[in-house]
């Protein structure tokens, strides 16, 4: 049996109102890749932040190489050789790569002066040793997330880390970048004798990469098993606590008709830069059109233009033959467009309003819920909301509590219930399952497919490629504000689509497809 | 008449009036880099000016005056840091509170310590020593402009260089900037951002103490109520104008100092003081307007260049 490097014993972390970790005991062996999986809010990140000294446990002990240790600050963790690559990169945007890598351990010319040239050479050397290419003098803010992650890993290695914790490292990566990362992780473990702990919720990655896997649920450790004994099914059930069915979604073919036509849309982002550089596509009833792309390539701006939240500078939007370019959100809504916004807390709902108020929004001025658009009628409103709560399985103690009392999944179900109940023929759905637990994901996916089967036209924007592939009939890829490709779902692999998402391949199969197929 | 306004004295005055702005702006610039908007500089300068007089008067030493001013600056800097960093109060409100406190406290202490109202002056106050650079004495032009200033004039220029080196060439300066831009990154790198923020706030207090001492012990050796006369805010404008970069902020402070000096010169030729006192503030508004305009034009140009 391998040497036990770290042992966590009965770790409990109590936050006000939330028990984030409940008597978690876990050991990490030297030279292994140990995956920690669990749903959002299962306590994975909290546990690792305790190990890295960012949080203090309420009770419990940490043993390092058999001896009890107290890790009060990240500095203590660094001294023990523990490094952490955070989900949100800990890089100072205006600093150069070299400055970021040596942050906190700067090489010095003398007592006071930093030796920047040395920092550059340290960076170059690290880059060579670990085979991770970076430009030491580039400013971090100008680099892609994939590169930023490399810098994070190099930064951790520069501090002499032997145990590297990676928190959701693949969440923001394209399939190619993920593959690259896995190669690096394997190299670190197999050739350089490092130990890696990886937090994730993607089961396929766990199976492909790790030696052992620990599953967490609601703050508790459900169990640790050897990856070779695990299957996706077993792990999913451990995570959720009940049987999960990964069933194929049932599609019915319905007549298709062009309902949304977007032509040559150009728009700027909030910084005034061109975010959309002439985007054109059509959306048909009875289909789900997925937009695949690395976040920040114009998806958000596109959704905002389509829903009237952002002005387009050029181009046109036609909804069912009606000119709808740069119309007010309410006018667009009245043309039969519903919108699930990407950020439910910012634009999807009002946290301090009650469930009832949130769920009647958009209907509040219509008969019979309001008389002449002025006086709101309580009874029909309450009836409608309670029906929707039941229908969409929104778990809430009552319809009079404020929205911020609900979990992320239930908030999202509330927004979806409201938007889907409009009977709109066009649904613009952005990141529908972000931060939502597996049970709710299943439910939401089924609702989306149901709408499609009823003949609605659905535009789906998601950073989660699995989701795009599961739901879409047709997929278009977007890169730096331009459409780089268009595919039928079964025509392309995730790996191949990654090339279009990063602009490495372009336009090969664009156009023509829809005319032939639809 | 123009000759009486625009002459060497104007430049000499510019150097003199720019000094408290430079000192305060350097302090504020440090907190700015640490992610703290310190509008309490105004109050810090005012208290510095008052306690410089107290120290100089009672100990018959200008050094004691400066030490008092700096000591109070450190205390106020600590107070500010404690509220803003540890108690997480709104920095804007704490800044205003410090300004109001300084205004009231100095008036109160002026009465209770010196028994006077409005202003205090005494031959027992020892002014700051003037410096003469021997090698300049032979050169008429430079002699008038650069010689015979208080020590803080030269100190402020040296401090600009030191602050520049500190911010961009030392690890500590890098930590300070990281603590403002992305504190979590610094914390996970094992350095406490809280410590860096405290250091910046205390340094700001020290620099504002210098600025205050220069005001009350520099040329006039007196304290008047509200003597700082919004210099803390003009220093703030200089920081924003200079993008919190020490050299650019220095240039901005000189420019505002120039308007201040211009106001004084205009008074000499008989223009009513109600008008001349507006000059520095009017100048500030005009300059900020011009800068903002050209900045917007530049952004627009960049954007167009890209697309």
Kindly tell me if the per-residue pLDDT of A438 is higher than 80. no
Q: Which residue of B has its CA nearest to A156?
A: B189
Q: How many CB pairs under 8 A join A and B?
A: 79
Return the pLDDT at A152.
Answer: 92
B53: Cα separation from own chain's centroid: 18
Please give, rounded to a whole number of angstroms, the shortest distance from the CA of B163 to a CA of chain A. 13
Least confident of B131-140, B253-262, B282-291: B131-140
Return the pLDDT at A419.
Answer: 92
Kindly tell me if the per-residue pLDDT of A210 is higher than 80. yes
Return the pLDDT at A182.
Answer: 92
Please give, rounded to a whole number of angstroms, the shortest distance from the CA of A489 to a CA of chain B. 33
Which runs of E-coded beta strand occur in A65-149?
Answer: 67-69, 82-85
Return the pLDDT at A88.
Answer: 83
Kindly tell me if the per-residue pLDDT of A516 is higher than 70. no
Strand A195-200 versus strand A288-292 pairing type: unpaired
| Interchain contact A95–B (C-beta under 8 A) | yes
Kindly tell me if the per-residue pLDDT of B306 is higher than 50. no
- At A68-82, the pLDDT tens digits run 999 999 889 999 999
Q: Which residues from B are below 8 Å from A75, CB to CB?
A: 190
pLDDT tier, A515 (very low <50, low <70, confident <90, very high otherwise):
very low
Kindly tell me if the per-residue pLDDT of B295 is higher than 80. no
- Tokens at residue A198, please? 């990886």
* Inter-chain residue contact B181 with A274, CB threshold 8 Å: no
For the segment A119-142, the average pLDDT, to the nearest whole number, is 91
Please give, rounded to a whole number of angstroms, the shortest distance from the CA of A491 to a CA of chain B. 33
Q: Which residues from B are below 8 Å from A106, CB to CB?
A: 171, 174
| Interchain contact A277–B (C-beta under 8 A) | yes
Q: Which residue of A has its CA nearest to B185?
A: A90
Return the pLDDT at A511.
Answer: 44
Q: Which residue of B has its CA nearest to A79?
A: B190
Return the pLDDT at B303.
Answer: 60
Which of A86, A103, A113 is closest, CB to CB, to B178?
A103
Q: Which residue of B has its CA nearest to A114?
A: B170
Spatial contact of A48 and A197, defined as CB atoms under 8 Å apart = yes
Kindly tell me if the per-residue pLDDT of A30 is higher than 80. yes
pLDDT tier, A154 (very low <50, low <70, confident <90, very high otherwise):
very high
| Interchain contact A274–B (C-beta under 8 A) | yes
- Compute the distance between CA of residue A162 and CA of residue A148 in angstroms, rounded to an integer: 20
Domain boundaries, chain A: 4-240, 258-517
In CATH, what number does A258-517 get?
A: 3.40.50.300
For the segment A266-284, the average pLDDT, to the nearest whole number, is 91
- Compute the distance between CA of residue A266 and CA of residue A228 in angstroms, rounded to an integer: 50
- Compute the distance between CA of residue A260 and CA of residue A337 in angstroms, rounded to an integer: 10
* Inter-chain residue contact B174 with A103, CB threshold 8 Å: yes
| Interchain contact A92–B (C-beta under 8 A) | yes
Report the candidate in A372, A371, A348, A347 with the shortest Cα–Cα distance to residue A359: A348
- Element (H or E) spanning A332, and its range? helix A329-334
Q: Which residues from A are below 8 Å from B172, CB to CB?
A: 112
Report the candidate in A279, A364, A355, A354 with the shortest Cα–Cα distance to residue A314: A279
Kindly tell me if the per-residue pLDDT of A294 is higher than 80. yes
Please give, rounded to a whole number of angstroms, the shortest distance from the CA of A111 to a CA of chain B. 9
Give backbone dihedrals phi and psi of A200, rounded to 5 degrees, phi first.
Answer: -160, 170
* Inter-chain residue contact A84 with B175, CB threshold 8 Å: no
Q: Which residues from A are below 8 Å from B190, CB to CB?
A: 73-75, 78, 104-105, 159
Spatial contact of A332 and A362, defined as CB atoms under 8 Å apart = no
**3-state secondary structure string, chain B?**
CHHHHCCHHHHHHHHHHHHHHHHHHHHHHHHHHCCCCCCCHHHHHHHHHHHHHHHHHHHCCHHHHHHHHHHHHHHHHHHHHHHHHHCCCCHHHHHHHHHHHHHHHHHHHHHHHHCCCCEEECCCCCCCCEECCHHHCCCHHHHHHHCCEEHHHHHHHHHHHHHHHHHHHCHHHHHHHHHHHCHHHHHHCCCCHHHHHHHHHHHHHHHHHHHHHHHHHCCCCEEECCCCCCHHHHHHHHHHHCCCCHHHHHHHHHHHHHHHHHHHHHHHCCCCHHHHCCHHHHHHHHHHHHHHHHHHHHHHHHHHHHC
Q: Which residue of B has its CA nearest to A100?
A: B185
Return the pLDDT at A518.
Answer: 32
Please give, rounded to a whole number of angstroms, the shortest distance from the CA of A76 to a CA of chain B. 8
Q: Which residues from A are below 8 Å from B174, CB to CB?
A: 95, 99, 103, 106, 114
- At A107-122, the pLDDT tens digits run 999 888 999 999 999 9
A48 vs B302, more confident: A48
Distance of CA A211 to CAs A39, A222, A375, A472, B55, Å? 20, 17, 63, 33, 71
> Which of B163, B166, B171, B307 is the best substitution to test chain A (most A C-beta atoms within 10 A)?
B171
- Compute the distance between CA of residue A140 and CA of residue A138 in angstroms, rounded to an integer: 6
Distance of CA A150 to CAs A177, A504, B211, Å? 10, 20, 46
CA dihedral sign of residues B165, B169, B171, B177: positive
* Inter-chain residue contact A155 with B189, CB threshold 8 Å: yes
A437: Cα separation from own chain's centroid: 12
The alpha carbons of chain B give a radius of gyration, in whole angstroms, of 20
Domain boundaries, chain B: 2-306
Please give, rounded to a whole number of angstroms, the shortest distance from the CA of A11 to a CA of chain B. 21
* Inter-chain residue contact B174 with A91, CB threshold 8 Å: no
Please give, rounded to a whole number of angstroms, the shortest distance from the CA of A29 to a CA of chain B. 24
Cα angle A57, A61, A67; round to 5: 140
Q: Which residues from B are below 8 Å from A84, CB to CB?
A: 188
Domains A4-240 and A258-517 are alike in CATH topology: yes
- Tokens at residue A225, please? 């098993």
What mean pLDDT value characterizes chain A? 88
- Compute the distance between CA of residue A52 and CA of residue A90 in angstroms, rounded to an integer: 14
Assigned CATH topology for domain B2-306? ABC transporter involved in vitamin B12 uptake, BtuC (1.10.3470)
- Compute the distance between CA of residue A7 and CA of residue A66 in angstroms, rounded to an integer: 8
Describe the crossing of helices A116-130 and A175-190 by its angle, rounded to 10 degrees. Answer: 90
Q: Which residues from A are below 8 Å from B164, CB to CB?
A: none
Which of A88, A92, A159 is closest, CB to CB, to B178?
A92
* Inter-chain residue contact B170 with A114, CB threshold 8 Å: yes
Kindly tell me if the per-residue pLDDT of A302 is higher than 80. yes
Each residue of A505-515: b (16+ CB within 10 Å) or e? Answer: beeeebeebbe
- Compute the distance between CA of residue A132 and CA of residue A124 in angstroms, rounded to an integer: 10
* Inter-chain residue contact B169 with A78, CB threshold 8 Å: no
The alpha carbons of chain A give a radius of gyration, in whole angstroms, of 25
Least confident of A410-419, A467-476, B175-184, B290-299: B290-299
Rounded-to-10 torsion of CA A21, A22, A28, A34: -60
- At A323-371, the pLDDT tens digits run 999 999 989 988 999 999 988 888 888 989 999 999 988 878 777 888 8
Least confident of A179-188, A216-225, A499-508, B58-67: A499-508
* Inter-chain residue contact A104 with B175, CB threshold 8 Å: yes
Return the half-sphere exposure (C-beta side, CA atoms, 13 A cut-off) of residue A162. 12
Please give, rounded to a whole number of angstroms, the shortest distance from the CA of B208 to a CA of chain A. 25
Least confident of A192-206, B204-218, B275-289: B275-289
In CATH, what number does A4-240 get?
A: 3.40.50.300
pLDDT tier, A426 (very low <50, low <70, confident <90, very high otherwise):
very high
Report the candidate in A174, A144, A155, A67 with the shortest Cα–Cα distance to residue A106: A155
CA dihedral sign of residues A13, A15, A16, A19: negative
Kindly report the pTM of this predicted structure: 0.77
- Element (H or E) spanning A284, and its range? strand A274-284
- At B202-240, the pLDDT tens digits run 999 999 999 999 999 988 889 999 999 889 999 998 998
């Amino acid at each position: 049996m391998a040497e036990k490097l770290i042992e966590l014993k009965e770790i409990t972390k109590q936050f006000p109102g939330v028990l984030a970790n409940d008597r978690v005991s876990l050991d990490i062996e030297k030279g292994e890749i140990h995956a920690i999986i669990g749903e959002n809010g299962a306590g994975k990140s909290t546990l690792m932040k305790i190990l890295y000294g960012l949080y203090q446990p309420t009770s419990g002990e940490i043993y390092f190489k058999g001896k009890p240790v107290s890790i009060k600050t990240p500095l203590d963790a660094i001294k023990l050789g523990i490094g952490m690559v955070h989900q949100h990169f800990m890089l100072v945007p205006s600093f150069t790569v070299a400055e970021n890598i040596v942050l906190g351990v700067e090489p010095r010319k003398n007592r006071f002066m930093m030796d920047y040239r040395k920092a550059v050479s340290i960076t170059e050397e690290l880059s060579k040793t670990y085979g991770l290419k970076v430009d030491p003098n580039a400013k971090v803010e100008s680099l892609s997330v994939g590169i930023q992650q490399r810098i994070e890993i190099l930064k951790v290695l520069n501090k002499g880390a032997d145990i590297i914790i990676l928190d959701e490292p693949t969440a923001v990566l394209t399939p190619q970048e993920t593959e690259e990362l896995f190669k690096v992780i394997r190299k670190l473990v197999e050739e350089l004798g490092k130990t890696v702990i990886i937090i994730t919720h993607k089961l396929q990655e766990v199976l492909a990469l790790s030696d052992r896997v620990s599953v967490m649920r609601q703050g508790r450790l459900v169990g640790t098993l050897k990856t070779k004994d695990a299957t996706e099914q077993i792990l999913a059930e451990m995570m959720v606590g009940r049987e999960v069915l990964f069933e194929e979604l049932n599609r019915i073919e319905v007549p298709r008709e062009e309902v949304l036509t977007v032509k040559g849309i150009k728009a700027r982002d909030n910084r005034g830069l061109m975010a959309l550089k002439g985007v054109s596509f059509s959306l048909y009833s009875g289909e789900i059109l997925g937009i695949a792309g690395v976040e920040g390539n114009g998806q958000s701006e596109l959704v905002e233009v389509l829903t009237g939240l952002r002005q387009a500078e050029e181009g046109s939007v036609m909804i069912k033959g009606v000119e709808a370019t740069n119309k007010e959100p309410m006018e667009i809504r009245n043309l039969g467009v519903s919108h699930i916004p990407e950020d439910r807390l910012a634009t999807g709902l009002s946290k301090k309003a009650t469930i009832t108020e949130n769920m009647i929004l958009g209907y509040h001025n219509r008969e019979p819920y309001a008389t002449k658009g002025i006086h709101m009628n309580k009874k029909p409103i309450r009836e409608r909301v309670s029906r929707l709560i039941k229908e969409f399985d929104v778990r809430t103690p009552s319809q009079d509590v404020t929205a911020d009392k609900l979990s992320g999944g239930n908030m999202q179900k509330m927004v979806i219930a409201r938007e889907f109940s409009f009977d709109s023929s066009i649904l613009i759905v952005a990141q529908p399952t972000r931060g939502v637990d597996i049970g709710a994901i299943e439910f939401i996916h089924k609702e989306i497919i149901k709408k499609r089967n009823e003949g609605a036209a659905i535009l789906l924007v998601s950073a989660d490629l699995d989701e795009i592939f599961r739901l879409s009939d047709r997929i278009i890829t977007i890169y730096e504000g331009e459409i780089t490709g268009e595919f039928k779902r079964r025509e392309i692999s995730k790996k191949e689509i990654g090339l279009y998402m990063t602009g490495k391949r372009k336009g090969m199969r664009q156009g023509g497809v829809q005319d032939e197929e639809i | 008449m123009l000759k009486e306004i625009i002459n060497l004295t104007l430049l000499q005055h510019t150097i003199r009036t720019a000094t408290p702005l430079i000192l305060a702006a350097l302090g504020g610039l440090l907190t700015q880099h640490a992610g703290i908007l310190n509008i309490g500089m105004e109050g810090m300068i005012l208290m510095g000016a008052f306690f410089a007089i107290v120290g100089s008067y009672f100990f018959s030493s200008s050094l004691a005056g400066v030490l008092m001013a700096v000591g109070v600056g450190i205390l106020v800097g600590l107070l500010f840091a404690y509220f803003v960093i540890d108690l997480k109060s709104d920095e804007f409100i704490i800044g205003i509170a410090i300004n109001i406190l300084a205004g009231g406290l100095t008036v109160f202490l002026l009465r209770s310590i010196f028994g006077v109202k409005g202003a205090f002056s005494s031959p027992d106050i020892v002014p700051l020593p003037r410096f003469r650079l021997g090698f300049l004495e032979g050169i008429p032009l430079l002699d008038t402009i650069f010689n015979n200033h208080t020590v803080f004039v030269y100190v402020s220029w040296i401090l600009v260089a030191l602050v520049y080196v500190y911010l961009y060439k030392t690890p500590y300066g890098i930590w300070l900037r990281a603590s403002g831009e992305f504190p979590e990154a610094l914390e996970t790198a094992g350095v406490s951002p809280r410590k860096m923020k405290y250091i910046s706030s205390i340094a700001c207090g020290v620099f504002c103490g210098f600025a205050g001492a220069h005001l009350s012990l520099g040329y006039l050796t007196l304290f008047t109520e509200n003597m700082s006369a919004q210099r803390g805010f003009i220093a703030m404008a200089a920081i924003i104008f200079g993008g919190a970069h020490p050299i650019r902020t220095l240039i901005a402070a000189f420019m505002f100092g120039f308007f201040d000096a211009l106001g004084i010169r205009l008074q000499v030729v008989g223009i009513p003081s109600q008008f001349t006192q507006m000059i520095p503030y009017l100048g500030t508004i005009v300059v900020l307007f011009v800068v903002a305009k050209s900045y917007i034009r530049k952004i627009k140009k960049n954007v167009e260049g890209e697309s």
